[in-house]
Homo-oligomer: A and B are copies of this chain.
Amino acid sequence: MLLQFHPWASAVEAPFWQVLTQRKMDVFKLDDSPKPVMGYYSTGQQVKIPGKDTTVALPARLCLGPPAFPDNDPNVSSGYSPDVLNRFLLITFADLKKFKFYYWFAFPALVAAPAWSSDAMQDVSQQFSTAQVDSLRGHLEQYRQIYPSSQHGFFLIKQHDLTVARLQDWDTFYAGCNDDQIIVAFADPSSLDSHPGWPLRNLLALLQFRWKRTNVRVFCLREVPGKSDISFSKIFTATLEEYAPVTEIPKAVGWEKNAQGKLGPRLADLAPLMDPIRLADTAVDLNLKLMRWRVLPGLQLEKVQGTRCLLLGAGTLGCYVARSLLGWGVRNITFLDSAKVSFSNPVRQPLFDFVDCLEGGKDKAATAAANLRRVYPGVIATGISMSIPMPGHPVSAQGYEAAQKDVARLEQLFDEHDAIFLLMDSRESRWLPTVLGAKKKKIVINAALGFDTFLVMRHGVGQDKETSYGTGSPLGCYFCNDVVAPTDSLSDRTLDQQCTVTRPGLSAIASAMAVEMLVSLLHHSSGIRAPADRADTDDQGATAEENALETSTLGLLPHQIRGFLSRFKNLLISGQAYDRCTACSDSILEAYDSEGFAFLLKVFQDAKYLEDVTGLTRMKEESENLDMDWDESNDDEMFSDDD
C-alpha cells in the first residue's frame, strides 16, 4: 500500500496579519528580505459531533498567530535540530492600503524515489498494553521536560523499555539493539485513521539518507490537547522496496493549493472586519511613512503631526492650507473666521459645498472644520466664529467688553497652538496676531495674494535679544517694511475691493508653499530662529555650500517667498526685523506688556498711535523738516489679502 500523507492546511489567525502590519510599518519598512516566522500545530485531533456517536477528523492545521515573529532570530536550523524537517515558507504581500493580504504557503517535502509503502495503521492499543502506553507517556513527559520544544516534533522510542531519545542520539540510543527495537516517532498533525501527517515525509527521507533504513516502525503521536492521553496515537511500518542511495537533492513538493484547489495565493481580506476609521488611519500613516522609508530617513513625521495649527481665516488660503496640513498628517487644526459661506466661495475654497451657502450661508470656521472631519475623521478640527480686533477700527463703549473677550480668547488660542497661519482678508487684521506671535514666540506663517503674485513668509520672533544670530539680525515680520501703521482699509470698500481678485490657481500654490515652509521650519535644527536661506542662484552673498551647513532636512528655508505666476517664478527674499516696526518691535511688545488691553484699545481707536509709540511719528516729522521725499508706498498694491 503506497504511503500517503495528510497534507497541511494553513490556518492564519487575523491577529497575525495585524502584527505583520505593525512590523512592516514600524520595523521592516522597505526591507523585503526573508524574515523568520514561527507556526504551531496540534497533534491529530478528532472532534465528536454533539449528540452523535461519530467523530470528525480535523484538518492538519499549521497555525500562525500573533507570536509568530520571534523577537530574536531563533536560528532554528542549527545542528541536528529536527525543526529543519518541519520547515515552511510563507510568501505574502500585504496591501496595507486596502488591508488585503495575499499569501501562499509552501511545506517543502522531499520526494522519495521509489516511494515508501506501508502496512495498515494500527491503534497504539493494538500493539501496546495499557501499562506500556502509560510507561511511554511517562517517558515522553520526561523527555519534553528535558529538551526544548524544537526537539518535540520528532524523537526515537526503544521497543523493549519504551524509553525516548532525540533523533541525534540514534547511534548511542540504539547501540547494541536489533532493528526491531527501533521505533521512530513524530508529533502527527493528521487525524485520519489511515494516513500519517506531512511531517513524516522529511523524517523518512532523513532515515533513508542518514541511516539507510528501508524498513521502519513509525509511531504517530496523537494526543488530546491538554490531557495526558496518547491513546489516539497510531503505529505502522513503512517500507522501501529496495534501498536506493540518495545521490542528489531529491525533488520537493509542498505548495499549498488555494481555496479554488489551484496552485496560487490565497487572499485574506481584513477590511470588512476592521473599523473603517482605523483603516483610514493606517492608510494615511503608511503614505507618510513611505516618504521616510523611501526618500528621507530624517523626516520627523511625528513632530509635524503633533504641531497644533491655528488658521486665522477660512477663505481660499485657509481651506487650501488645511488640506495640505491634512496631507502631512497634522491632527490638530483650528479655524478662526467671522464670515459666512457665500455663493462665490465653494469654487475657490476647497472645504465648502454649494449647500453650505444656502439660507444666508453657514459659519465659515465651523463648516470648514466639519468638512475637514468629513474628509478624515481622525482630525481634531475646530471652528471658531470670531473677528479679530483691528487698528483703526474703533471699539464703541458697548463693544468694549466683547473686544476684551476676543483678545483674551485669541491669547488663549495662541497658547494652545504651536503654529499660527495668517490667512485673512485685510492687512490690519494681521496686526494683533503678529503682536501676539512675537510676544509668545510662536511660529507665524503669513500668506497673502495679489492678482498673479503671492507672498509667503515666516515671521521672526521680534527683536529676540535672547539669541545671537550668525547673520547678526533677527528676521522681520509682515509689518517690518512699513513706516505707516495698518489702519482701516475695509470700510466703504467698493464691489471690486470686497473680494480678492486673483488668478484662481494662485491660492492653491501659495497655501501649499506656506505649509511646506512650516514643515521645512519644523525640520530645521534652529526652528523658529533659523536664519534665512536664499536661493543658490541669487547674488546676495551666501553660496549653496554655506547655506547647506544649516538647512532644513527638506531643503532651503527662506524667510519670504514672493511668487510671480505670470513668469512661473519665485523669488526668495529675506528682511530684517525693524526696530520701529508697528507690530513686533520692543516698544510695542513692552507697551502691551505693561498696559495690557488698554494699550490695544488706544490702537483700535486710532492706528496712528502705533506710529507715536514706535517713534515713527517723530522720525517722519524730522524727515519732513529736512524737506525730503517720504515714500509712503507699501506692498498693498502688489499683495492684497484673501477673502
Question: Residues of A at under 8 Å CB distance from B?
Answer: 24, 30, 32, 94-98, 271, 276-277, 279-280, 282-284, 286-287, 290-291, 293-296, 320, 323-324, 326-329, 342-344, 346-348, 350, 352-355, 357-358, 360, 374-377, 451-452, 494-496, 498-499, 501-506, 508-509, 511-513, 515-517, 519, 535-537, 554-556, 558, 561, 564-570, 572
Contacts and interface: CB of A to CB of B under 8 A. Distances in A.
A505 B322 CA distance: 11
A94 B293 CA distance: 56
A280 B361 CA distance: 12
A569 B566 contact: no
25 contacts: A30-B496, A97-B344, A276-B358, A290-B499, A291-B503, A323-B350, A327-B347, A329-B347, A347-B375, A354-B374, A452-B554, A503-B516, A505-B519, A506-B516, A508-B509, A508-B511, A509-B509, A509-B512, A513-B568, A517-B568, A555-B565, A555-B566, A555-B568, A568-B570, A569-B570
A603 to B, nearest CB: 29
A375 B346 contact: yes
B496 A293 contact: yes
A32 B494 CA distance: 9
Contact of A294 (B323, B496, B565): B496
Contacts of A536: 567
Contacts of A566: 554-556
A316 B56 CA distance: 54
B504 A328 contact: yes
A380 B170 CA distance: 82
A235 to B, nearest CB: 48
Closest 7 CB pairs of A and B: A555-B566, A327-B504, A505-B512, A283-B343, A283-B344, A508-B512, A505-B516
A354 B280 contact: yes
Contacts of A296: 451
A498 B98 CA distance: 12
Nearest to A350: B350
A561 B570 CA distance: 12
Contacts of A329: 347
Contacts of A324: 504-505, 508
Contact of A376 (B320, B346, B505): B346
Given A32-B494, A516-B568, A555-B568, 20 more contacts: A97-B343, A277-B354, A283-B343, A286-B344, A287-B347, A294-B501, A328-B504, A346-B375, A350-B350, A355-B374, A505-B512, A505-B515, A506-B516, A513-B568, A535-B568, A536-B567, A554-B565, A555-B567, A568-B570, A569-B572
A98 B342 contact: yes
Contacts of A350: 323, 350, 375
A561 B555 contact: no
A451 to B, nearest CB: 5
A280 B496 contact: no
A290 B502 CA distance: 9
A550 to B, nearest CB: 15
A3 to B, nearest CB: 39
A561 B376 CA distance: 32
Nearest to A279: B343
Contacts of A569: 535, 537, 570, 572
A295 B97 CA distance: 46
Contacts of A328: 504-505
B97 A499 contact: yes
A625 B342 CA distance: 69
Given A286-B344, A505-B324, A555-B567, A451 B499 contact: no
A495 B94 contact: yes
A223 to B, nearest CB: 41
